[in-house]
Structures are given as C-alpha cells and as structure tokens.
Chain A
Amino acid sequence: MLYYIARRLVLMIGILFLVSVLVFVLINVIPGDPATLMLGQEATAGARAALRQSLGLNDPLYIQYLHWVGGVLHGNLGYSLADHTPVMSILLNKIPVTLELTILSFLIAVAIAIPVGIISAIRKGTAWDYVTTVFALSGVSIPAFWLGILLIYLFSVTLGWLPPSGYVSLTDNPVKSIVLMIMPSISLGIRLSAQLTRMLRSSLLEVMEADYIRTGYAKGLMEKAVVFKHALRNAMLPVLTVSGLELSAFLGGAVITETIFAVPGLGQLIVNAILTRDFPIVQGAILFIAFAVVFVNFLVDIAYSLLDPRISLGGASK
C-alpha cells in the first residue's frame, strides 16, 4: 500500500510540475508588456524599463519560471497588477467562498442522485425509470447559466422567495449565507446530480445481477436490506470516481455560477481578473485550482483502492 501511495505521489508531483509549466507558459505568451499594464500608458520609458528590470522580465523565460516557481514553493504567487495586493492573500479570502458553494452543491447533487438513482435501478423499465432518464439527460445538457437565470426568474422575480444574488459569510450569518447559496448550489449541483444518477443507476443494475445479491434474496432478505446493506456499498465505488473526476468540471462551472449570482469566490475572481487583464491573479488562481484537482484525484485514487480490495495496488502485485 505504501509503495502504491509513494508511486502515485511521484506521478502527482510530475503532473504538478507540468501544470506549473503550462500555467507559466500560458500567461507569459500574452501579448503586451506587464510593466505598461502596471504603470499605465502614461509612464515614461525609463520607469517602465526600471520596473521590467525589478520584476526580472528581462531575464530568459526559464530563469523567470524558476523565480516564479521558487516563489510559489514559498507561498508567494506574485502581486495583483491592480493594487499590488499579494495574490496569495486574495486567494485565501476567496477560497472559503468557493469551498462553501462547492460543498453545498456537492451535497445537493448527492442528495438528489442517491435516491433517484436507486429508484431508477430497482424500478427499471417503469415510469419512474423514464422520468429519471429524462432528468439525467436534461441535467447533463442544461447550461448552468440558463438554469441559474430560470431559478432567479422563478424564485426571485416571480415568487419573491429567495434573494436573486449576493453573499454573506457563513461565519457572519449562517442562515442568510445558506439561503443566499440555495440557488447557486442547485444551479451548480444539478449537472453533477444527473451524472451521478446515471452512474449509480448503471452501477447498481450491474451489482444487482451478481450472485451474492441473488443469494441475499434467496435467504429471504427484504429488498431494502439487499439494496442498502449489500448492493449500494459496491455500486457506490464508480460513483466515487466520477465525483473525483467531476471536481474539475465543478470548479469550471463555479466560474459561471459565481458570475450569475454575484458570489465573490474564485470563479468570479478569475473572470474579473481576465477581463481586467490582471494576469498574476489569473495565474495564481488557475494554478491553485489545478493543484486542487490533481490532489483530490490522488485522494480518490487512494480511497478507491482502500475501499475495493479487488484493485491491485500497482507494481507490488505484478
């Protein structure tokens, strides 16, 4: 097991290195001079040259990369071009907001997917199953921004039940914070819920054909016991993998959702930074997100191998 974790860790470090190279190259191919962006068009050529020198922009690209990575390893992601605030402190302010949205959306997705997926699998071929199929198809096809707008139109404009946008920190006012997060979480979570429903349905259908399930029925167990105590545990494994893989799409979706509902998280930060061409922020934020995705997938891999004893732990068995 330790060998497996160590091997995955080495692979993860390799990917993180490539991710950092990609982020650096991506941002450094942008046309335009960062010194001009920071000082404005009115700055003198001398001032711009001095700033370029102090920022190390005259160095070869690989030296700039090494400087940047050295900073990243010490927790320094650079400074915002707009107000020179450290990017790390900006990110630390925004991460809890996106984390709250992500966790709530995930909970909503799971709360919908598990019962709907189970019903659809055990009532296969019935009206329930068709409704579920249509729900799953619609859920993966509906654009998050349209769903968000429909929710605002229905619950804010027409019924007046929920505020259309805004954010209050969970620590300041937990109730208001949750109320404000209902629509963004549904808008972000519905796609994942549809995907998990599909996955759980097909995985459960496969498990229900297994011999041990037949044995369960044969020895007189109730359907509830067979499904919940025996089938569901095994059927949840692929669902876990999909959840991990979907984190990337989830964080991408957060960009749109946060923009629609004016939630001041990482997504909105990235969009605003892109629109104002504040590239140190874009660089820091996407680096953080990519690291988070790689790390969560690493954890899912480990969890998967722990949960399913059939999975060979890498080279040890070969």
Chain B
Amino acid sequence: MEQPQLKAGPITFSKPSKKVVSRRSSKILKHKLALMGGIFVAVLILLAVFAPLIAPYSPIRQSYAEALKPPSSAHWFGTDTLGRDLFSRIIFGAQVSLKAGLISVGLALLIGVPLGMISGYFRGLWDDLIIMRVTDAMLAFPSLILALTLAAVLGPSLNHAMIAIGLVFTPNFIRLVRGEVLAQREREYVTAAKASGLKNVHIMIRHIFPNILGPIIVQATLNVAAAIIAEASLSYLGLGTQLPTPSWGAMLAEGQGYLQQAPWISIFPGLFIFVAVISINVFGDGIRDWLDPKIK
C-alpha cells in the first residue's frame, strides 16, 4: 500500500481572516475599556476614602465674597452660589454616591438573594408563586417612581433614599438568582448532595450559592451604577441627600438656575456622575466577559 509522502518545507502561517481580526480587535477594545473602567473606579474609591486629605477646602465652608467664581488655580472647578469650593464638594460627594450605590445594592442583595434562592430551589406555591408574582408586580412600577414614592413615604434623607433604592432593586436580584438556581438544582452535584442526606439550607448555601456567585457579582456591579444615578436623581428632586451634605445630584439641581452665570456648578457634578457610572458599567461588562466561558 502506498504511503502518503510528507514533503519537508518551510512552515507557513495563513493570514488570519478579516473576521478574526475584527473579533480580536473588538475584544482588545473591550478589555482596554474594562481596564480603564476599573482604574477610574479605583480612583473614585481613593477619592472618596481620602476626601478629607485631598479636598483643599471644607465642603461646607461658605464665603460669599467668592460666590460664583469660575474655575481658577484657587478653585479648580469654581465656586457655587454660597462661595463653596466645588472641587471639594465633588470629592466629598463621591463619598455620598459610592455609599449610596454600595449600601442600596447591599440591601437589595441581602433581601433578593435569599428570596430568589428559596423561590428557585423549593418552587412551591407559597415560596415560588407568591414571591415571583409580587416581584412581577414590583417590576411593573418604574423604579425611579417607586423609589421616589418610597423616599417620600419614609421622609427625605440619604438613609431613606438608600433603603428606597435597595427595595426597588431587590426584584432584579430575586429574578436573576431564581433563574440561576433553577438551572443549578437540576445538576448532578445537587442530586448527589441530596442523596448524601445534606439539608436543603446546607445545599443552597454551601453548594449552589458558590456556583451562582458570578452572575450575582456582575448584576451587583451594574446595579451600583444604576443606584448612583438613582440617588443623584432623588437628590436632584430634593428627596435624597439633604443640605449641607454634598451630593452630586443636589449640586446639579442647585446649578440649574445659574446656567447663564455659572454653568460649572452643574457641569462638573454631572460629569463626575457620568464618569463614575460609565466606568462602573464598563468594568461590570468586563467582569461579565471574564466570567463567561463562551467569551474567553
């Protein structure tokens, strides 16, 4: 029988197709954006943590002689109607925004994850049907309007705004976790754990939870960005952080009446909200891609 002859020769690599190049370049772009997002988030956290050391002035120090001053070397972002240094207020405002984002999402996680797990794992009439129908009903309300109403019911303050935003975001986590648990409960490792006599609570916490942590982290990251916008919106409408505590949303609202004389009062806080939110969104997208085996 004749054997195929192998010919020696230089090894050549074919040029990657246009499609592969475009896929690679869009992946690189995404990674770069995610990295930039992560860096911005880190900078923002550092600004918030070290605000008292970084801010050149006290955020509540008033100086009527310096009211409505444009950006200068003394006041990088200018001053507001009461002569307060905007840069300092924005730096301290980062504390408020990050606190609002983290605490409200933390609250949503605290309520939403257990409810979603119970609903998905037991799938009984009370736990699944009732929890999910109430979740559906809550999702019928525009989140901002629900948060506004809750904040009004509780009374205007940062703490109440955080509670309102946390409650409004809870259905997102219930839905997500329920869906993930529904998929996991059919897997062999859960059947094996049940067969070995482990208690349901143990299976849920020690076995299922670690396997659904990825999507929860992604959703939580993206919701932090949404919570920052929600807090700024509530403060803009006067139902969030109260004066004199610096809040980006309230600063923006204050500046709206002075757009002609002092546009910087609105522009800089808005820019920080935008940069914070886009950075967290991009970072969240990056984490999603990183955790998704199909994209790797």
Contact = CB atoms under 8 A, between A and B. Distances in A.
A146 B252 contact: yes
Interface in B129-175: 133-134, 136-146, 148-150, 152-153
A15 B141 CA distance: 11
Given A22-B137, A271-B148, A275-B238, A150 B267 contact: yes
B168 to A, nearest CB: 10
B236 interface: yes
B290 to A, nearest CB: 17
A149 interface: yes
A252 B236 contact: no
B281 A141 contact: yes
Contacts of A91: none
B213 interface: no
A142 interface: yes
A124 B233 contact: no
Interface in B70-100: none
Nearest to A291: B140
B140 A15 contact: yes
Contact of A286 (B137, B145, B256): B145
Contacts of B33: 137
B102 interface: no
A146 B149 contact: no
Interface stretch (A34-42, A59-67, A254-262, A308-316): A254-262
A124 B236 CA distance: 39
Interface stretch (B45-53, B203-211, B258-266): B258-266
A153 B25 contact: no
A138 B275 CA distance: 9
B116 to A, nearest CB: 18
Contacts of B139: 248
B274 A249 contact: no
A251 interface: yes
B21 to A, nearest CB: 7
Contact of B29 (A30, A133, A256, A286): A133
B160 to A, nearest CB: 12
B280 to A, nearest CB: 8
Q: Chain A contact residues: over half helix, strand or loop, or mixed?
A: helix
A68 B296 CA distance: 55
Contact of B259 (A15, A141, A153): A153
A297 B255 CA distance: 38
B256 A260 contact: yes
Given A143-B277, A256-B237, A248 B143 contact: yes
Given A26-B149, A130-B29, A149-B259, A143 B136 contact: no
A94 interface: no
Question: In the complex, which of the residues B137, B270, B278 has the most CB atoms of chain A within 10 Å of its own CB atom?
Answer: B137
B140 A150 contact: no
B196 interface: no
Contacts of B18: 125
Given A14-B133, A141-B225, A251-B145, 8 more contacts: A18-B137, A30-B153, A145-B270, A149-B255, A248-B143, A249-B142, A270-B148, A286-B145
8 contacts: A26-B150, A141-B225, A149-B252, A149-B267, A153-B263, A157-B259, A252-B143, A253-B142
Interface of B: 18, 21-23, 25-26, 29, 33, 133-134, 136-146, 148-150, 152-153, 225, 229, 232-233, 236-239, 249, 252-253, 255-256, 259-260, 263, 266-267, 270-271, 273-274, 277-278, 281-282
Instruction: Give the top 8 A-B pairs by smallest Cβ distance, nearest first.
Output: A125-B22, A252-B142, A146-B270, A18-B137, A252-B144, A141-B278, A274-B152, A141-B277
